[in-house]
Amino acid sequence: MSKIIKLHDKFFKHYIDAEQIDKAIDSLVSQVLDDLDDEEPVFIGILNGSFIFMADFIRKYPSHCQVNFVKLSSYEGTSSTGKVNQVIGLTQSLEGKTVVILEDVIDTGNTLAKIYEIFEGMNVKELKLATLFFKPDVFKKDLHIDYIGISIPDRFVVGYGLDYNELGRNLKDVYELKTDNMKNIVLFGQPGAGKGTQADLLKDRYNLIHLSTGDVFRRHIAENTDLGRIAKSFMNFGELVPDSVTIEMLKDEVNKHRTANGFIFDGFPRTISQAQALDAFLGEKGEIVNGLISLEVPEDILVSRIIERGKTSGRPDDQSEEKIRIRFNEYETKTSVLKGYYMERGKYFGINGVGSIDEITEAIIKVIDNI
């Protein structure tokens, strides 16, 4: 079950699962059956949204019944136009019959008012209305609803027959529009490319949390944690820390900032498995990686930068060209494949990492603003 999906230009996060919907329909069927006793009702579905609800309801209904449809429309995009039009009319006489309207969702009540208007002159024996979803916060009409499956807040939802500009009807679960999207950026590049410098500038501009795997590793090492001791044994030889250690450290850091506007991931992910783990972890929270921004710098320039940095950083892996070259080899054999992973998803953005700090920052800002 995917936690986040994209339809057209918008993202939606998982809201109601199929099992909960199925239980709600069972309850509606039971209520209608108890009320109608031995009558043979005419169930009328409101197209297009109710077709899946209608089909599942009818299959569960154990007594004789008739079925018909009427099509009304009041939505454009993600908001109601407030004007309801009958598009397809009824094809049978309903005089003296008990009619049960099956609606997918009732929000403002404009469609419901039109339904009552349509059936007023048809001399039905009794008119009842059942809706799978009901939004009480925005219901504006003094009209009766007989059966309600699930009451929900005023959220724009898709799935189980409901759509966003005709997409999403076939989803078995229901998703709600994401209005609080985080901005999650992976800052990518070989050691010495300037990721830390740029992350410090960008985090303030976009109010993001900067998560540097190097800083996280060093804190764990300084605190002599179990994960820190494992990380140290690899870092001292210029090798990548195992995925399982890195992932657990990063998950812990993200969970410390539950109200963050987003994150800049610096030095993570470094492998395909890490990227997949990050996608899965963010997906559980209804979030995604918005883009990977790669600072691209020739290797000889990087070696010079790191040797210079090693004069003050005190890091053993910054003071030996041999260890630096090992790190570059690790990067090329294990990390550079991430470019393809994010390119396939339309999320890879390469930036020239040679130039003034301000020039590079401006190039990154242009990318982020367009993500």
The alpha carbon of 29 is separated from its chain's Cα centroid by a whole number of angstroms, namely: 32
**CATH class, 185-370 region:** alpha beta
Examine the pLDDT at 113 and tell me if it is beyond 80: yes
- Residue that has been written with the tokens 């242009």 in this structure: 366
Give the residue, 130 or 244, on which the prediction is more confident. Answer: 130
Per domain, the residue ranges of the chain are: 4-177, 185-370
Is a pLDDT exceeding 70 seen at residue 75?
no
Q: Which fold has domain 4-177?
A: Rossmann fold (3.40.50)
Specify the pLDDT at position 312. 72
88 has pLDDT over 70: no
Render pLDDT for 256-314 as a digit per residue (tens, 0 to 9): 887 788 999 998 888 888 999 999 888 877 788 999 999 988 878 887 887 877 777 76
Say if 4-177 and 185-370 have the same CATH topology: yes
Length of the chain in residues, anyone?
371
Contacts 24+ apart (CB under 8 A), 232-239: 235/317, 236/316, 236/317, 237/323, 237/326, 238/317, 238/323, 238/324, 238/326, 238/327, 238/330, 239/326, 239/330
DSSP characters over 201-261: HHHHHHT-EEEEHHHHHHHHHHTT-HHHHHHHHHHTTTPPPPHHHHHHHHHHHHHT-TT-S
